[in-house]
Amino acid sequence: MKEGTKVIAADGEHVGHVERILADPSVDQVTHLLISRGIFGKEVKLIPLKWILKIGEDNVYLYVNKDSIEGLAGIPLAE
């Protein structure tokens, strides 16, 4: 998986692209994905690893549907 990979919800909806991959350095393990949607005024959401069903070459598939993603609070992205 790389930055820019599409993120697909359980209902087949495209919910964003991988912006960053976050890890806990104390255990050397990925914990979250930071996904973004939109070009101007990006909406950024933090997705926990437990929501990921499968990671493919071109897509990340989630256990949760689009409504679950939209229900998450957006977070500011420091450039």
At 45-65, the pLDDT tens digits run 999 999 999 998 899 999 999
Q: Is the pLDDT of residue 77 over 80?
A: no
Classify domain 6-70 at the CATH topology level: Photosynthetic Reaction Center; Chain H, domain 2 (3.90.50)
Beta strand extents in the chain (DSSP E only):
6-8, 14-24, 29-37, 43-48, 52-55, 59-62
Is 37 in contact with 6 (CB distance < 8 Å)?
Answer: no
CA distance 42 to 54: 25
**In the chain, where are the structural domains located?**
6-70
- Residues across the chain: 79
pTM greater than 0.95: no
